[in-house]
Chains A and B, each alone.
Chain A
Amino acid sequence: MGGVARRATIIRQERSKAQHTLVLDAGAALMTDRDPAKRTLGKSSVEAMNLMGYNAMALGLLDFAPLTLDELRERMAEAHFPMLSANAYISDTRELFAQPYVVLDIADHHVGILGLTDAGSTPYIVATDPLEAALKWMPELRSKADIIIVLSHAGLEADGEIAEKVLGIDVIVCGRNVPLTQPRVVGRTGTVLFHSDVAIVGEAGRKIGVAYLSFDSEGQLTKHDWRNVTLAPDIEADPEMNGWVLTQVAASLESSQ
């Protein structure tokens, strides 16, 4: 299951059918235990996401943990998309490490995307309460965007609380290993939560969620349909992406000799 070449095929197929697409990641994308990501300190992951045309990514603590801040800054500079966190602060300076949100213009709408990191700390970063961060940044984001998506690695409990207590969020894309296999709609606010994959050691990147969202002229979410695509062997590998994978595998083999 999985593989970026099959993922790229799904992305390409959906792009060919839709006038407007967004490709987002809810965190823990850069590196863990496997080459080439481990060998390249996440550079290969950024390259793959660039090739697939990702529009934004939330930073999880797992993205911070293996890297120094300078190494992560290098990855962020290499990325063709913003890496977001509204609640990750540099331990020494207490400054926000990354941009908290981005606003993308799609047709004549403004889509705001807010990033949230799971609360906790690494040697260099302190990630504060995601709910407080959402409450802090949402007024500013609401003044700039009529459609708001939260990309969150905060965990389902935090995401559920944010959906209940923070006004104006249309969608929360959830990360981490959480038990959410179908979209959840929070009645009080109308926020919809999506989640795709539960990763375990040796098995990650096996699925991609595909949500079809309809917004009215004022940016209110009026309809959603969703499916979770398992990147099974019956999905053809994208040739360009597959070629890139082969070069990465070859480089890893060469470096291990």
Chain B
Amino acid sequence: MSSDQPTEQAAMKSASTEEKGHPRRDLLLSIGAFVVYALFSFAVVLSPNLSLWRQALSAKGRPPASQQPLDITLLHTNDTWGYIEPCG
């Protein structure tokens, strides 16, 4: 019995040491998981916009801004097929 005590004590000491190591390791794992999650989330959120951002960065820039606002009336047709007379 007495020969088991040092072993038992050593086991308990070892377990205690392991218990002390767990929180630090858990913290590191948590931080790492959070970083991975954050990067993944950014990728998901930003990926549809990456093309737009690339376009914005690569744009040569618009010509010098005009001084005045502008109103335009835009009249538009489509698929008129060459019809000139009323129909239907």
Question: A106 contacts which chain B residues (CB < 8 A)?
Answer: 70, 72
Pair count A-B, CB < 8 A: 234
Question: A2 contacts which chain B residues (CB < 8 A)?
Answer: 83, 85-88
Q: Closest Cβ of chain B: how far from A91's Cβ, in Å?
A: 24
User: A195 contacts B78, CB within 8 Å?
Assistant: yes
Q: Does B16 contact A (CB under 8 A)?
A: no
Within 8 A of A (CB), among B37-83: 48-49, 51-52, 55-56, 58-63, 65-83
User: A29 contacts B69, CB within 8 Å?
Assistant: no
User: A146 contacts B66, CB within 8 Å?
Assistant: yes
Q: Which residue of A lies closest to B86 (CB)?
A: A3
Q: Does A257 contact B (CB under 8 A)?
A: no
Q: Mark A1-26, 1 if CB is under 8 A from B, else 0.
A: 11110110011001101111111111
User: A215 contacts B72, CB within 8 Å?
Assistant: yes
Q: Closest Cβ of chain A: how far from B26's Cβ, in Å?
A: 40
Q: Which residue of A lies closest to B56 (CB)?
A: A167
* Bound Cα distance A179, B19 (Å): 66
Chain B, interface size category, equals 35 or more
From known contacts A29-B77, A165-B52, infer whether A20 and B71 are also in contact, taking CB-CB under 8 Å.
yes
User: B82 contacts A34, CB within 8 Å?
Assistant: yes
Q: Does B84 contact A (CB under 8 A)?
A: yes
User: A233 contacts B82, CB within 8 Å?
Assistant: no
* Bound Cα distance A219, B68 (Å): 9
Q: Does A90 contact B (CB under 8 A)?
A: no
From known contacts A22-B75, A208-B75, infer whether A248 and B68 are also in contact, taking CB-CB under 8 Å.
no
Partner of A219, one of B65, B76, B82: B65
Chain A interface residues (CB < 8 Å from chain B): 1-4, 6-7, 10-11, 14-15, 17-34, 36-38, 42, 44-45, 48, 60, 62, 106-111, 135, 138-140, 142-147, 149, 153, 165-168, 171, 173-177, 188-189, 194-199, 202-219, 222, 231, 233, 245, 248-249
Chain B interface residues (CB < 8 Å from chain A): 48-49, 51-52, 55-56, 58-63, 65-88
- A sample of 20 inter-chain contacts (CB < 8 A) reads A20-B73, A22-B75, A23-B76, A29-B81, A34-B82, A45-B80, A109-B70, A142-B59, A142-B61, A143-B62, A146-B65, A194-B76, A196-B76, A203-B88, A204-B80, A205-B80, A214-B69, A216-B69, A219-B66, A233-B86
